[in-house]
Chain A
Amino acid sequence: MDPQELLATALRALGLFAFMLAVIRVLGKRTVGNFTAFDLLVALMLGEVVDEIIYGDVTLLQGAVAILVIAGAQYANSWLSYWDHGLDRVLEGQPTVLVKRGELQPDGMRKERMNEKDVLGELRLHGIDDVREVKLAVVENLGEVSVLHEDWAKPLRRADLGGEAAREMEEATGGREPSPERRTDSPRALGEEV
């Protein structure tokens, strides 16, 4: 292949690198690290368009139009889902509840096509082998499972040891969280002696 065409390829690749970087910077950090289904689609579409431009199969103008339209749609989507008018739930979905108050939730599990083994596997990834420790486990819009522990199963904080930290906690929470000496919940929730 003649060197001039190779040089042109390199220049187009370089130009598109800068252009794509600018486009993704403008779209914002949220588009960058967390992929919702729509973000993934946008990334795939953007990636799919670019190779034709680099090889010169389509003109720069055509390529720029395609990229800007896709990016514009994503930009509009980010604002539409920012304004909390219910549309965000349509665009991005809602978290699905898998476990509530230590009990598996068959409806949510069916919705995510997860069986008991799948759910228990996700809990193991959070270091949990007893479902009774789980107050709430949900599948987030980003596809990850997040887990909230029952109060008695939460990791130990400094304030839970009592002393100065516990006083700071009572102050910060306006007494809503009592210091350890006065708490009422405990592993008794398991119904066994611990």
Chain B
Amino acid sequence: MDPLRIAVRALFAFVVLHALLRASGKRFVAEATGFDFVLALILGDVVDDLLWAEVPASQFTVAAATLVLARLGAALASAGSPRAAALLGGVARLIVQDGSPLRPAMRAERMNRRELAEALRREGLEPHDWQQVRSARLERSGRVSVLRKPWAQRARRADADRLRDARPGAQG
């Protein structure tokens, strides 16, 4: 097999994939979900058949372009209609409310208490801190978002200002 031909095909594949990914927008790379990750793996595997000349360049281009266009179509549909977004990517699910884990929701996501503890630990919350949580959701991206009760929210400069103003004898 001619090494030069392999080099040319590799360069061709690089240019085609680069153009396709640029066309499909930044979120493909930055906000990659699990499905995007699998899609990227598929694209990577579609390439190697081209490099070893197992498929013609035209077939590779059609296959890669179809995958990227399909993803673009799905993304456009999700952006355009909440129902399509829910169908294609699911909806955020409430898993903790007012400090209490919601068992049915956790079961539906097959997330056990240990995994919930892990997700909240990433937010710096130990089990005895869960009282601080107003709500936690398993987001569409698969990550857990946490909103705290007002008293447990991070103190802001404005909070210090308000206290200073409220202190007896303070001048406004």
Contact = CB atoms under 8 A, between A and B. Distances in A.
Interface of A: 1, 5-6, 9-10, 13-14, 16-18, 20-21, 24-25, 28-35, 39, 43-44, 46-48, 50-51, 54-55, 78-79, 81-84, 88, 95, 138, 140-142, 144, 146-149, 154-163, 165-166, 168-169, 172-173, 176
Q: Is the interface of B mostly helix, strand, loop or mixed?
A: helix
- Looking at A24, A32, A155, the one whose CB has the most chain B CB atoms below 10 A away is A32
Interface in B94-144: 99, 107, 109-115, 118, 121-122, 124, 126, 128, 131-132, 138-143
A158 B150 contact: yes
A14 B70 contact: yes
B38 A24 contact: yes
A173 B142 contact: no
B55 interface: yes
Contact of B63 (A32, A55, A160, A176): A55
Interface of B: 33-35, 37-42, 44-46, 48-49, 54-56, 58-59, 62-63, 66-67, 70-71, 74, 88-90, 93, 99, 107, 109-115, 118, 121-122, 124, 126, 128, 131-132, 138-143, 149-156, 159-160, 163, 166
B121 A138 contact: yes
A32 B141 CA distance: 7
A30 B122 contact: no
A47 B59 contact: no
Contacts of A51: 42, 45-46, 48-49, 63
Nearest to A162: B163
Contact of B33 (A33, A50, A142, A147): A33
A30 B138 contact: yes
Contacts, number: 185
Contact of B34 (A31, A158, A166): A31
Given A5-B59, A176-B128, A166 B37 contact: no
B110 A28 contact: yes
Contact of B110 (A13, A47, A78, A144): A78
Given A157-B151, A163-B163, 6 more contacts: A13-B70, A30-B115, A51-B45, A157-B153, A158-B155, A159-B151
22 contacts: A6-B62, A9-B62, A9-B66, A13-B70, A17-B70, A28-B109, A29-B93, A32-B142, A34-B142, A34-B143, A35-B37, A43-B37, A48-B45, A51-B48, A51-B49, A82-B110, A144-B122, A155-B124, A156-B154, A157-B153, A168-B151, A172-B151
